[in-house]
């Protein structure tokens, strides 16, 4: 078992999960194998400043990620009803995943024990199920710009 506070690195198999989505459907990471690389974007809490700007940016750049062939799966520890309200309020195009039991957060090593939320972290999972790129922010007030994430995706999948 991995330490829930030590983030996974590129080169290891991505832990599988099935989480509730704002679409009303459950999403299983392994269902993307052989079909599409996936960017897992862990964010601490809906309706907070940095998380709101980050999710709105993903929504604005939805086409750029689609053009890169990458499925973006943002996930947080918020309950699905909260995430649905968050998505509607800010017109977010991507579906959001609820990790309310913190299973994925623990499996990827991004649990913040002091707040019981996730760190802001990004994991690019290749079509083979392996983590190709990983980045964890030093603190939740930081986030990567989409241009930087897209460059990292391009380099990791080259």
100-107, Cβ contacts within 8 angstroms, sequence gap of 24 or more: 100/20, 102/4, 102/77, 103/17, 103/19, 104/15, 104/17, 104/19, 104/40, 104/42, 104/75, 105/4, 105/42, 105/75, 105/77, 106/2, 106/4, 107/2, 107/4, 107/15, 107/17
Q: Which of 38, 51, 70, 131 is catalytic?
A: 51
Q: Is 51 a catalytic residue?
A: yes
Which residues are tagged catalytic? 51
């Amino acid at each position: 078992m991995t330490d829930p506070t030590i983030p996974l690195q590129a080169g290891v198999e991505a832990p599988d999960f099935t989480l509730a989505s704002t679409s009303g459907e459950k999403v299983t990471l392994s269902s993307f194998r052989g079909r599409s690389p996936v960017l897992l974007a862990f964010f601490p809490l809906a309706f907070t400043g940095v998380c709101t700007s980050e999710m709105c940016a993903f929504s604005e750049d939805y086409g750029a990620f689609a053009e890169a062939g990458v499925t973006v799966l943002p996930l947080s520890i918020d309950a699905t009803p909260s995430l649905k309200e968050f998505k509607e309020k800010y017109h977010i195009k991507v579906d959001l995943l609820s990790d309310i039991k913190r299973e994925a957060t623990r499996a990827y090593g991004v649990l913040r024990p002091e707040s019981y939320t996730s760190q802001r972290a990004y994991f690019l999972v290749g079509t083979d199920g392996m983590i190709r790129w990983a980045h964890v922010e030093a603190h939740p007030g930081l986030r990567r710009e989409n241009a930087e994430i897209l460059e990292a995706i391009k380099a990791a999948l080259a």
